Structure 1
């Protein structure tokens, strides 16, 4: 191919960009290394968010090393500023448990009084970490604390503008995320403190939400709007940040082309994204994902040579620590390419690697969720211990003050008795009041002990159930029979359903009742994660009234819900890539409730006559559980399956 002046000019520009990036990265690392002690913290604080994200690995390795610096330890204000920076580094690196631990240290430090702005920063950071851990009950709890703080006039961090839309997106409610994000963008335009990156980033997110809803025209519109805003606002000020954002947007636009089977148009967009990613070399997993898509596009147009080149580049990136999901995608794409090249044996080995790694990813996710819950519970226990110790100190001070006051009162009364005989009756009244107060304190202490004991019982039951689930998981690894393995997995799901129930109860103020709105949110999240390997887009709509049930009703009802929704995932959407499940719980009369679960799947088999004649273990379990709550079950199989259960709460 002839090498024209135009090609030479582009080549020179690319070299200049690459050198610029390298010099920028080296400059940040060199500048940080040249500083000492607390100056390193100040340097980190003054970086913009994009720079912090771009060099997250560097700061994750180096910032914790200065924790013992004398300049930091000798000054409480410096300690708190250092911990804020450290928590942010952990959050950007997605090490959420460490981030939460540091933020809790800041929040519980009795020697430092947080300002409203600092407290807001702690709460918003905790909010992000809990959201990334899918601990929605903790998120909602912090939401109310943030709302109270904002009523007092505290500023809300600018880059947390999209929390509500992000929460909807995490819950797969993109139809609600889109209008919420549009409203948040309107508010950003009114905020004079916004930086140049925030609006283009918001438009990119909006385009992604539309693409998830398969509204490709709107997705294109907002991606192009993001490019235009970046060209105007970022490129003149920060070319490195501009290049990074352009790479992300072009990669997203390539996905839209792929969704329309326009692989030829997707290729140059992906190549541009890959070029920028390889130059920056700060997100190997993201670059690898774009290379995998590029290989798939070349394979689709039967350009297998270029597809293999892209796969080779991915294999070079495997030297870095790529995330597990990216590795699974690489194995699958490699297997497909080998299959098309008629290298079937080698293709089969890569299919096996993808399946094995995907299975381990799912197990690790469940373990991570359980570990997160346990660690957070330990942190809550630590908070409770600190609060109890502080309460004990306050009580001791009050007792000393009471004794002193009482002694002074006795002296005063004794003196006044000589002058005023009527004061004798007043002294008797004061003594009776003291006795009543003492009895009230004893009663309150007894009630507090009983509540703590009941909370501990629920927590231990939950822990014991999770231990049983872990034992079943270990047993499952040693069994080769697939039918037996599935039975154990089903058992684990049912045990986890009850464990989540006890977790909800010990987090509730009323330990005898279960808040079903909160519980169903966590149960649905668990079921989605447990069935993620189904590779189907299943949307779950919820309409749960604000109802509470005692444990005798909650356990069979939760097992029924788990059984039905899990069966929907397994059987209702065979030969389908997506589907909808709707669940509602409504109160009919003072003691009558209705549970309705409906899907738009394939429906029941034609030979299904009634639940009594069914030979399914699942239906037998549902029928038995219904009897425990005096329930009547009705099954309708038309355009899917609908199950209605009328039940009562035992008194």
Structure 2
């Protein structure tokens, strides 16, 4: 018995210690919720709620939600409409913080419908809640509508659209919108802002896989930043200089990433190392993500140069705050590393990790789609309810009119009643028939839309598989090259591989494009040149290449022969046009299509064609291939040998 008493007292003692230590942990930090409950009026509580630096420091969002609901119920009982609106705004924000975006949107939309009774500050908060909810649900069309309304109200702070386009992966559209919105606001002498502007434009181009064009913009940004730092007439604080150094590190990191995309790994490595060292001095989360990107890019460059120890050192870094896409990239690089060192067991582990991450992403996307559907259905129900209320109001007005007519004209009451009832029955019948027709139209539209989506998905899958098969052919040619000792055979295999890559790029651009019928040629030409440059690693990198094909689109029947023709021309320029020095080398590519008529021109300022070019044309596979491809375009290849270098051109339909 005494033993059980001692055990009981020991348990009570430990409970007392636990409660005392819990009080000591929370007692030192002021609870924002306690402050919220202590103030007297709804407007004061509203100020405490939105002005708290960290309202969840002690109490969770669920504690706040329970408290706000109690105050909301009390304000509704007392018919205090002002307090009710304030508490509903807080409730909408709490649901947003908890990730229940469909509930948050329903509350915010209810408040927004009565926007005429909201002051500008309250209206702004409601719009901010809607903006954040739509962003998290990836309902970007609705988010754009909210931001347009903000601008109409004169709310311009942090109201732009290019970030939405960037989230959608429409980097070219984001760049155009950014240029349109930001460029007019920068004066010619504001060198620091110009540096930021060209850095942003260059980064959008890099993300759009236009590395050479992006490199040009990023170099402009770096030049403007150097002018700003060297300008002794402008007063600069230590913070200004520190921010400038961070911007310089960002720019150099993006320049290095462009060099990696172009296969210039030796050039990229020192820039990446300097960028990482400078960015590590920053405490911003955005810079942490940039450091991780640069480190992974550094590992990739070392891996391509077969410096396996250096690559593994960077991949083994234990990063904090690494996002999912960066984790996938890191796992891919680790798998590639173990493949190269022939540790296939470890390579398989990292490939499987990426598969599990992708499955998790699919589940997350499924949950997001469910919230989107709930939001859309709730919106439709609200609209249907409003239509029924309006219809009921109209019917009630008609009934009152009939009753008045009955009192005034007793002799006509029976006839009027009959006609009214007949009219009402006809309206109800027409209304029900209209609903039935609308439902049938909606179902048919849904079936057609699903069929179109399925067709697009199948087409994209076909193009994807064709691209993968062509890449496999390219890999087989590479393997054959390694097993071949004949220089002529190796050269022929490399040329064949280059032609296969040109066709694979066509199918890659198609399945990446929203419109499966055409290919945007400016981006395709840039990607093709990058691919050719990677084959001729010892030459071609100092040649100035100008591409004039912006806005030109071709269908696949024209794009494939055109890509093969251009592949032959660029390869020949890299191999033969500049035998001694390519420092002053220039290539100009011009492509235009207006309606049914098109024009292509290719020039370089190299050594030109040899004197026996006519005789070689019959034996050269490249010239014969280009002539056949131009014939497919129902045209004739023209060659100008009189001018400096060489010029090829043809018209096509």
TM-score if structure 1 supplies the norm length? Answer: 0.52
Cα deviation for residue 565 of structure 1 reads 3.4
Cα deviation for residue 275 of structure 1 reads 1.4
Q: Equivalent of 1:275, from 253, 257, 280?
A: 280
Q: Equivalent of 1:208, from 203, 210, 219?
A: 203
- How many angstroms apart in 2 are the aligned matches of 1:306 and 1:32? 49
- How many angstroms apart in 2 are the aligned matches of 1:66 and 1:339? 52
User: Structure 2 vs 1, CA of residues 280 and 162 (structure 1 numbering), >3 Å: closer, same or farther?
Assistant: closer
Question: SS of the counterpart of 2:35?
Answer: coil
1:503-525 CA distances to partner (integer Å, 9 max, x unpaired)? xx34xxxxx865x9xx97xx4xx
**1:251·1:270 contact (CA, 8 Å) conserved in 2?**
yes
Q: Does 1:380 align with 2:278?
A: no
Q: Does 1:443 align with 2:430?
A: yes
**1:41·1:82 contact (CA, 8 Å) conserved in 2?**
yes
Q: Does 1:76 align with 2:72?
A: no
- How many angstroms apart in 2 are the aligned matches of 1:234 and 1:445? 73
**1:178·1:209 contact (CA, 8 Å) conserved in 2?**
yes
1:108-137 CA distances to partner (integer Å, 9 max, x unpaired)? 359954659677876787567657766xxx
User: Structure 2 vs 1, CA of residues 139 and 311 (structure 1 numbering), >3 Å: closer, same or farther?
Assistant: closer
- How many angstroms apart in 2 are the aligned matches of 1:449 and 1:385? 17
1:581-610 CA distances to partner (integer Å, 9 max, x unpaired)? 27339xxxxxxxxx965585699xxxxxxx
- How many angstroms apart in 2 are the aligned matches of 1:573 and 1:222? 36
Cα deviation for residue 569 of structure 1 reads 4.0
Cα deviation for residue 267 of structure 1 reads 3.4
Question: SS of the counterpart of 1:37?
Answer: helix
User: Structure 2 vs 1, CA of residues 559 and 272 (structure 1 numbering), >3 Å: closer, same or farther?
Assistant: closer
Cα deviation for residue 45 of structure 1 reads 5.3
- How many angstroms apart in 1 are the aligned matches of 2:58 and 2:228? 31
RMSD (Å), alpha carbons? 5.4
Pairwise mapping of residues 428-467 of structure 1 onto structure 2 (< 5 A)? 428=415, 432=419, 435-452=422-439, 455=442, 458=443
- How many angstroms apart in 1 are the aligned matches of 2:50 and 2:558? 51
User: Structure 2 vs 1, CA of residues 584 and 111 (structure 1 numbering), >3 Å: closer, same or farther?
Assistant: closer
Q: Does 1:565 align with 2:463?
A: yes
Question: SS of the counterpart of 1:583?
Answer: coil
User: Structure 2 vs 1, CA of residues 267 and 513 (structure 1 numbering), >3 Å: closer, same or farther?
Assistant: closer
State the partner residue of 2:295.
291
- How many angstroms apart in 2 are the aligned matches of 1:101 and 1:358? 33
Question: SS of the counterpart of 2:66?
Answer: coil
State the partner residue of 1:328.
328
Question: SS of the counterpart of 1:182?
Answer: helix
User: Structure 2 vs 1, CA of residues 308 and 372 (structure 1 numbering), >3 Å: closer, same or farther?
Assistant: closer
**2:134·2:140 contact (CA, 8 Å) conserved in 1?**
yes
Structure 1 gap segments, 5+ residues each: 1-28, 191-196, 415-423, 459-501, 507-511, 524-554, 586-594, 604-636, 643-651
User: Structure 2 vs 1, CA of residues 125 and 441 (structure 1 numbering), >3 Å: closer, same or farther?
Assistant: same
User: Structure 2 vs 1, CA of residues 378 and 599 (structure 1 numbering), >3 Å: closer, same or farther?
Assistant: farther
State the partner residue of 2:218.
219
1:464-494 CA distances to partner (integer Å, 9 max, x unpaired)? xxxxxxxxxxxxxxxxxxxxxxxxxxxxxxx
**2:296·2:314 contact (CA, 8 Å) conserved in 1?**
yes
Cα deviation for residue 376 of structure 1 reads 1.8
**1:329·1:354 contact (CA, 8 Å) conserved in 2?**
no
Cα deviation for residue 181 of structure 1 reads 1.8
Cα deviation for residue 371 of structure 1 reads 4.1
- How many angstroms apart in 1 are the aligned matches of 2:329 and 2:405? 79
Give 1 or 2 for the bigger CA radius of gyration: 2
1:141-184 CA distances to partner (integer Å, 9 max, x unpaired)? 6656876x589x43354323233x7527835462x443332111
1:302-331 CA distances to partner (integer Å, 9 max, x unpaired)? 77666555444x32x3xx564333223223
**2:300·2:333 contact (CA, 8 Å) conserved in 1?**
yes
**1:295·1:310 contact (CA, 8 Å) conserved in 2?**
yes
